[in-house]
Copies of this chain bind each other. A is one copy, B any other.
Amino acid sequence: MKKFINDVSSIVDDTIEGFISIYGDIVKKVPDSRVIARKNIKQQRKTGIVIGNGAGHEPACIGFVGEGMLDGNAYGDIFSAPGPMHLLSAIKEADTGSGVLVLISNHAGDVMNSEMAVDMAKEDGIAVDSVLLYDDILSAPASQFRQRRGTAGTVFTYKIAGACAEEGKGLLEVKEIAERTRDRTRTITAALSPGISPLSKEPMFQIGEDEIQMGIGVHGEAAACVMKYESAQKTAVFMTEKILEDMEWSEGERMAVFVNGCGRTTYMELMIFYNEVRKFLKSKGIKLLRPLTGNFVTTQEMAGIALSVCRMDPEMETYWNRKTDTAAFPW
């Protein structure tokens, strides 16, 4: 399988070089580490927000670094968590004297390396805390929700905690709203066709021609169940029902929907799918807030949709709507 790349070993560094050449007015690469950080961050004083993730999910998370969202992103090899020294470098870069919150998407390597970096930062005298993010409801039952994987729904936390920090709130408050957003977010992913690993150049998993895989992870982790391919309407209703079953909610509540394309999902499909989710939630008496639609948290060119729903309160809603200045977030 072909991609527009040079040597496989230089994919991530080539990506960063191109990215910085375009968005150098808002981001920079931190010297001697693979960290994308907000430019001029040291000129203000704010709670820093940092995350580490493997490459291959772009624009997540490099595209979310900037005003009103993330201050630093430690960027690993493809589908591989960045090392603790890179995370430490991101924390130091994001520290303006007001402390740093490390967001951790729940995957073993990310958790281990982020926790090591947090410990090292504490030893260096930085006020640092972390929040573990998990939103994929098909990766573990509700009784073991802390085992659930982090997936596309983490974007709600980046956005809302990021806006909260930008408004000058302290580390404790930013941590609290990050946890609140996580606790009110649920995600379920449906895959139609696999992405191609840039390393092996092979499809990352197999899907039958008449199948949808439900609950697949952002690195192609095994699906929870395989279903027969159905219309967008039936698929959307199935997924939205699963999400509503997994959380407490009441009629009249305000929710934001994120229809995330997993890479190759066309704009048409995103619009059609969102429309079905919208109609179903409306029929349940739910008030819909500004939605997010697009290929944001990708698994290379996987055909799939991660549907994420976040129950908002007025404070979260204000932060959700706040403008950002990033490469990829659309407002």
Please report A residues at the B interface, Cβ cutoff 8 Å: 1-7, 11, 14-19, 21-22, 55-56, 58-59, 63, 190, 192-193, 198, 209, 212, 229, 231-233, 235-236, 263-276, 278, 291, 293, 295, 298, 300-301, 303, 305
Contacts and interface: CB of A to CB of B under 8 A. Distances in A.
A266 B300 contact: yes
Contact of A275 (B17, B235, B293): B17
A6 B63 CA distance: 32
A301 B59 CA distance: 17
Given A2-B193, A293-B22, A303-B301, A268 B17 contact: no
Q: Is the interface of A mostly helix, strand, loop or mixed?
A: mixed
Nearest to A272: B14
- Among A59, A63, A275, A303, the most chain B Cβ lie within 10 Å of the Cβ of A275
A137 to B, nearest CB: 19
Contacts of A266: 3, 58, 263, 298, 300-301
Nearest to A56: B268
B303 A271 contact: no
A6 B235 CA distance: 10
Given A14-B272, A17-B275, 10 more contacts: A2-B303, A5-B231, A5-B268, A5-B269, A14-B232, A18-B271, A22-B293, A58-B266, A265-B301, A266-B301
Q: Assembly of this chain: how many copies?
A: 2
A327 B20 CA distance: 25
Contacts of A295: 295
Nearest to A303: B301
Contact of A59 (B5, B209, B267): B267
A317 B6 CA distance: 32
Contacts of A58: 266-268, 271
Contact of A233 (B6, B22, B301, B305): B6
Contacts of A267: 15, 58-59, 63, 298
Contacts of A264: 263-264, 301
Contacts of A305: 4
22 contacts: A2-B229, A2-B303, A3-B192, A3-B266, A5-B232, A5-B268, A6-B231, A15-B268, A16-B271, A17-B271, A17-B275, A18-B273, A18-B278, A19-B271, A22-B271, A22-B293, A55-B268, A58-B266, A263-B264, A264-B301, A267-B298, A301-B301
